Chains A and B, each alone.
Chain A
Amino acid sequence: MLNLAELPPGTKKAVDVNGVAVLVCNSNDRLYAVSNICSHAHEKLECGRMSRGWIGCPVHGARFDLATGRAMNPPAKDPIATYPVRVVEDWIEVAAG
């Protein structure tokens, strides 16, 4: 999917996994894979701010916990999908789709 070197701490990358828009994130000293689509108004999350284990939607400001997908503040209520992520010989693998 992605080489680990392409995703230094504090960065994120949008990828397509079997037709699913996934955002792979390196935050809080660990990797996460979540849906790249905000559950509120279906905007892309990839340009939002990521900090301390959350990603914020740049359009209306909803935030999601990267570990659980939980919506942390309005205007979103529904969570976003999260996907298993692992590293195999410096390659980041995501199970989605």
Chain B
Amino acid sequence: MAVEAKELKGTQKGTQKGAAKGEARCPGAPTTQEIIAADKVAAPKWVRSESYKFLGDEEISTDRYIEPSFAKEELDKLWTRTWQFACREENIAQIGDYQVYDLGPYSFIITRVGPKDIRAYYNACLHRGTKLRASGSEGCASEFQCSFHGWSWNIDGTNKNVVCDWDFPHVDRKKLSLPEAKVEVLGGFVFINMDPAAPPLAEYLGPQFKAHFDAWKLEDRYVYLHVSKRLPCNWKLAIEAFLEAYHVIRTHPQVAVSNADANSQYDVYGEHVNRFISTLGVLSPHLYGKHTEQDILDQFTLGDSGALGGSSKPTVSEGGSARQVMAEMFRGMFEKATNTDLSAVSDSELLDCFSYTIFPNFFVFPGISLPMIYRFRPDPRDHRKCLYEVLFMRPVPLDGKRPEPVEPIHLRDDQSFKEAAGMDPGFGAILDQDTDNLFLQQEGLEASAKHGLTLGNYQEVRVRHFEKAVEKYLAMDAKRPDIERLPSR
């Protein structure tokens, strides 16, 4: 006999009309914290906390998504001042290893100079400006030699050679080092910032979120799949599509059966970080009374399903819950398949969707079943397009052997995410559904007689928080990198 899905009645406050702005929550549903508190293996402190703040309810102007001039201002003001994820540390494991990181017209050679010394050189020859390494490339360099006239630099950035230097008596080679952006490494992620006056990364992130990040120990994970694709919209629209679970019931109806969407939790931390927690293995409040616990289990979508080896889902026993069955099954099978120890990992960390963003363009999902990194970058040639990347991470095996970094898969614009080898088909379908909306949203905003977005006070607070940060940087003066103003080493 089918077990009717549990409808945990919550103790929600503020569901009544007339509650203070931002205080209302999904009526008749448990909170995210109540769902997690009922788990068998208890969640850590960073999960069991809330940090919502009402940030206003005025409209968000739409010129920011459709005007080329806005995109130009972002390149001059926002991208030149903010911390950006450039590459994983393991991609430049040996001295001389490098990866080229591009943002709009800007380009950097991220290279390892010593065990703890990573640099980000502006990727241009100081002679006549040729890129020293092609965009999208990586390798190991003995030197950075320009392919045009052969001026070259040591990997520590000092000038190595000026061909026919007798013709350049006006050039002081001691001052001819490659200019650098600031670099910091956190959890195995190499971050760079073009602004010499930028605050340290820890200050930029704030102490509360930094404590979360440190608890995840992401330096002990590796990337097992990296997929990129151009999306048919402005980079900010793409980001905002992933900032809320409000869209799940209509955009991803197949997921809603197993996702507490309308009662997800939203938090903001300082100016640059926000998150949601969306519990999985729990029925959507939109669907109460329509599904069994077995339906919930059967519909459970994993970002990392490879670890389950294609096995079928078990049966939920009388009185049991899909969430508990999934937690127990996933823990055991994942440990076995990947040679890892998850005994200290809570049910919530195993199953739930934890979506954090670091402004402007970095998402980290520190859970185990949905273990993604997202990065969004503007297309330098078209403000109505952006480059999206998804990286899936796993804990490094117990034997400590870190697998070799994977080759990124670059999908064409017309390809489905499901076509990327190694991508879970269910997850690929979700990304395709999101992409289809974004194309319509970009065109709709351009066609609309309404010039502002209307946002929900709670479920869409991350969108507002993100756009507030955009507005903060856009109010500043242009700050393009200038070698005269960069500190010399």
Contact = CB atoms under 8 A, between A and B. Distances in A.
A49 B139 contact: yes
A18 B140 CA distance: 29
B425 interface: no
A51 B134 contact: no
Nearest to B139: A56
A12 interface: no
Chain A: interface size category: 20 to 34
B404 A48 contact: no
B138 A56 contact: yes
A59 B405 contact: no
Interface in A36-79: 40-41, 47-49, 51-54, 56-63, 72-75
B315 interface: no
B407 A59 contact: no
Interface in B118-143: 132-143
B476 interface: no
Nearest to B134: A74
Contacts of B139: 48-49, 56-58, 61, 63
Interface residues of B, number: 20
B131 to A, nearest CB: 9
Contacts of A63: 137-139
A61 B13 CA distance: 60
B147 interface: yes
Nearest to A41: B147
Nearest to A58: B142
A51 B145 contact: no
A60 B153 CA distance: 12
Interface string B73-107: 00000000000000000000010010000000000
Contact of A75 (B94, B147, B405): B147
A56 B140 contact: yes
Contacts, number: 56
**Chain A interface, >50% SS class:** loop
Contact of B142 (A47, A72, A74): A47
Contacts of A61: 132-134, 137, 139, 141
B2 interface: no
B88 to A, nearest CB: 13
Given A49-B97, A74-B134, A75-B134, A58 B406 contact: no
Contacts of A58: 139-143
A17 B146 CA distance: 31
Given A49-B97, A49-B140, A60 B407 contact: no
Contacts of B140: 48-49, 56, 58
A60 B405 contact: no
Interface string B135-172: 11111111101010000000000000000000000000
B202 to A, nearest CB: 32
A31 to B, nearest CB: 17
Most buried by B among A47, A59, A61: A61
Contacts of A41: 147
Given A53-B407, A74-B134, 20 more contacts: A40-B147, A48-B139, A49-B94, A49-B97, A49-B138, A52-B405, A52-B406, A56-B139, A58-B139, A58-B142, A59-B145, A60-B133, A60-B145, A60-B147, A61-B141, A62-B134, A62-B137, A73-B135, A73-B137, A74-B137
21 contacts: A51-B138, A51-B405, A52-B405, A52-B406, A56-B137, A56-B139, A58-B139, A58-B140, A58-B143, A60-B133, A60-B147, A61-B132, A61-B133, A61-B134, A62-B134, A63-B137, A63-B138, A72-B137, A73-B135, A74-B137, A75-B134
